[in-house]
Structure 1
């Protein structure tokens, strides 16, 4: 054992002294932008060395007390290789807590190297690993304040591997959080993993952090995390680590993204259409990275309305963005025009612009903009199709579109619950049909609501409707299930959730419990109340409860929202019919009727009744 340790230490020293480390890069994709966000830098030893694998390499470094030396060497060679290949996007560099406080990081050596290589600090993400215990929390906080002040962003690795990085998340407030591969692999088939990751997603939204799902190896897992709304992904399914990684989204990844479910956002635009980044497109003739600065200045001077100039390579891929005010400010200083006028414009361009795919929805684009560095609000964003440049968009135009969407959504919202009304419901159904997306339409109605409203007054009736609206919103997955309020006590849900039946069951139980809190103990215990009928006679009236009619809608089964509405209404009537047949005053539960036949395959009533 000792002899092996001595041999490994000698081998590590040889590798470091001879500069034999090889950096490899694994792409991290942004599902919303349908582009490569950046790359994680990983390190390898020589192929013919026993320390070729990173685990063996870093184990030898720990035994030889050379961790900081190895980390520094790996960081340096990775930065140089990243710059030499002109890779797009951000670079994620693994840094240990000790490495974060290393004098070679703190004294400006890394900053000087970035300046030499022409890499802006805003393109670097310091990925803090949890392979060693953090003992100096105040020192780490001070160091992160130092790096953030210079433009670096922070990520924490392997969320879920231990409790320590949950504490790191709450204290360090990173811009990126990587989910441990244990929770990602098999998530499409594992409900426990799904709900763990969903909880992480909720935390990320509160903390304004972007999640990166690591260890994606299967297309179904990639589709699952994408449908959950997780921004970024990384893993063998996307690409393996390579010394010369892909610069564009692999075709197999794009094919999965093309099959995505319909994401939810406020209604706007014409019937059946959802605004996308393409609606904000402004076509601007780009410049190339070799265009001289004098030409760029001339473009800005000749066109006062031109705020930015996109920089696009010969392959049609965007590589940067030049801001008008930044450029003119630099050239207004003495001798700048003489010094830099004939040099290429890539000297002053933003090398990590915000790039979005033309198919990204306005909601997705707004979320990306809110989480991007502040200067992107002024620069705007580049719009691409399949990774190739189309034009640019501005944050001003984006805010205008969002405002129009909010006004439109408010115009058609139910005044009591503020949920989308008939027009947004119909538009959403038509979007689902146009996209050939399978879904379940559920019509939810309160049985015996009118007698309750007449007896106890409209105020208590409104309370019941508001309670039901809240319970429905809590029961659905708001990222993929659409909740609408038709009017009165009628609600409509468009489910994409695979577990929609369980959610309906839970809604029945929760509504029954809620009614128990609204009514007094005597009314609840008796299962109803006494009321006066039309003839002036006192009769016993059952408590309000739910009837839910549900129908599965497959691709091509319906042509418009009208057919879906009719089918759901028939299913709801069957649910209410079965509820009356199973009438029991002591039973506060509800009823579900599921039309399980394909539409057109048989008459309504061929489904199955489920009662609580």
Structure 2
């Protein structure tokens, strides 16, 4: 039987890798490197291997060798993406770890440190928290990224997350397995995801073992995941997800997209006027104002009508209440205790734009609030709480008109959006997308698979849209409307068709893929062969001088869609004539556009 010293001397450890998936597109962002001891030995189990190492005082040596083996194997295989490298806090803070050995190994292997994520694993309490934090900051400065492992099971990961802001946080598999049937676990994951979004951290769900768990994790909005359902650890891991997982990625139930319409709410709706003070105001006077106004969260500092700073209540009072601070600062100008770089937001800014900005910026802007201006002049303040309340109201309003299957905007928002663009003299493309041969597919595969095909198509079409300029709506059934203001709108349509041709086979059985269709009996009992579904897009160019209402746009788009469906396979028809207003299929337009 091999001893630990034999293992160290002969380097008889082997590395295996488990892919980590990005749920947004189904690709693998990288691989977690795992270690195994000699085969056909009790030491093959990592629990036994590291347990024995701790008992014999060889933890550091075994972990250092493990890291070398993982790095060498990762480089030898030329695996793409990032390598998640497990490191214990004990080893991380050991002087021999901090002397640059890992960097030297990486340089010799030709691996960029920016591709390596130090994954902190904890199986015992971390007593020297400051040393671990300082070590992690040291490695981040060298280019490494950081991941906290087993959130919810570790000892100091929550504190580290708060202070270190790691790039990744891994949720312990306890909260993942069975999440589809446990509302408490779902709520835990939603809370973690919300914190992660505010702190700029990506969440990785560990231990996903079933398609039901996968769906729930994906729909909550978790960024990444790993587990047996995605791929098992392997000495030679797959580089792409298998078809079942790929199909689930493309049938995401919720396709997020900003809804732009005449009902758009601006920051002015959450504006509250708060008395401002000039920069020369004494600190003592600001203190008196806060004590007399208990609900006042912040005070804007304004000079000649222009905001120059913001004083946060809690920071101000905490600072001012310290010993001797009142005597030292009382008569000084309030600029001594103000934030000289507050967030300034114009009154006309749509709230969804501000919400997106705040979700990606420092949390301080959300907690402190922001100053609202009109042409650069102070008119009021807003708070993160007010913004959340207004965004929630807008989301509820939008959900009233969303298609329940894809959660994309339905007929009413589509019509309002087109009218809004026409009234503002905008030119744009309207593309009517429709699945061909969908009814036979629905009959053969059943309504559940039919729903998945519709969701698949909605996600695919949404992926070719630029959220800044483009809009996608779901009329109903298998019909979608794209309102595109992107300059390359025609190329986007062609990309959608190419993507459908490339990825839609995951929807069909191997037998049907091999023959390109399936056989069914018609009402007379005759056997009829049907082609597999394809995607048709009819497109028109809309300008205010050609169209005066969404009704006319609907008529022209419906006609273009019919011509596209007349072409075989995945097809795009573009009506390139500058059509005068004329009578066109009123009945069809009314049916599809409401």
Structure-1-length-normalised TM-score: 0.52
Identify the range of structure 1 (291-300 vs 442-451) with the bigger mean alpha-carbon deviation. 291-300
Match of 1:459 among 435, 441, 448: 448
Distance 2:362 2:457 in 1: 40
Structure-2 residue corresponding to 1:570: 559
Secondary structure of the 2:537 match is strand
Q: C-alpha displacement at 1:398, in angstroms? A: 0.8
Query: Could you list the runs of 5+ residues in structure 1 that have no partner in the other structure?
Result: 1-132, 157-166, 176-204, 210-263, 584-588, 606-612
Distance 2:258 2:339 in 1: 32
Match of 1:503 among 485, 492, 495: 492
Q: Within 5 Å, give how 1:160-239 maps onto structure 2.
A: 168=143, 170=145, 208=200
Cα pair 1:266 1:405 within 8 Å, conserved = no
Distance 1:275 1:590, change over 3 A: same
**1:519-540 per-position Cα deviation (integer Å, ceiling 9, x unaligned):** 3455344443322223332223
Structure-2 residue corresponding to 1:600: 580
Distance 1:360 1:447, change over 3 A: same
Q: Within 5 Å, give how 1:79-90 maps onto structure 2.
A: none
**1:406-459 per-position Cα deviation (integer Å, ceiling 9, x unaligned):** 333333332222322223323333343344332211111112212332343223
Structure-2 residue corresponding to 1:591: 571
Structure-1 residue corresponding to 2:290: 300
Distance 2:264 2:357 in 1: 17
Structure-1 residue corresponding to 2:236: none
Q: Within 5 Å, give how 1:21-420 maps onto structure 2.
A: 168=143, 170=145, 208=200, 266-267=258-259, 272-314=262-304, 316-333=305-322, 336-420=325-409
Q: C-alpha displacement at 1:504, in angstroms? A: 1.7
Distance 2:386 2:523 in 1: 59
**1:114-172 per-position Cα deviation (integer Å, ceiling 9, x unaligned):** xxxxxxxxxxxxxxxxxxx99xx9xxxx99x88999xxxx9x9xxxxxxxxxx848579
Identify the range of structure 1 (291-300 vs 546-555) with the bigger mean alpha-carbon deviation. 291-300
Distance 2:377 2:416 in 1: 31
Distance 1:291 1:603 in 2: 70
Structure-1 residue corresponding to 2:542: 553
Distance 1:280 1:169 in 2: 41
Cα pair 1:433 1:556 within 8 Å, conserved = no
Distance 1:372 1:544, change over 3 A: closer
CA-based RMSD of the aligned residues comes to 4.0
Match of 2:512 among 512, 523, 530: 523
Query: Could you list the runs of 5+ residues in structure 2 that have no partner in the other structure?
Result: 1-111, 117-129, 148-163, 167-196, 202-255, 586-594
Q: C-alpha displacement at 1:603, in angstroms? A: 7.3
Are positions 1:428 and 2:452 aligned together?
Answer: no
- Tell me how many residue pairs correspond in the alignment: 360
Cα pair 2:536 2:564 within 8 Å, conserved = yes
Distance 1:458 1:420 in 2: 22
Distance 2:390 2:549 in 1: 26
Distance 1:451 1:572 in 2: 20
**1:178-233 per-position Cα deviation (integer Å, ceiling 9, x unaligned):** xxxxxxxxxxxxxxxxxxxxxxxxxxx99949xxxxxxxxxxxxxxxxxxxxxxxx
Distance 1:526 1:385, change over 3 A: same
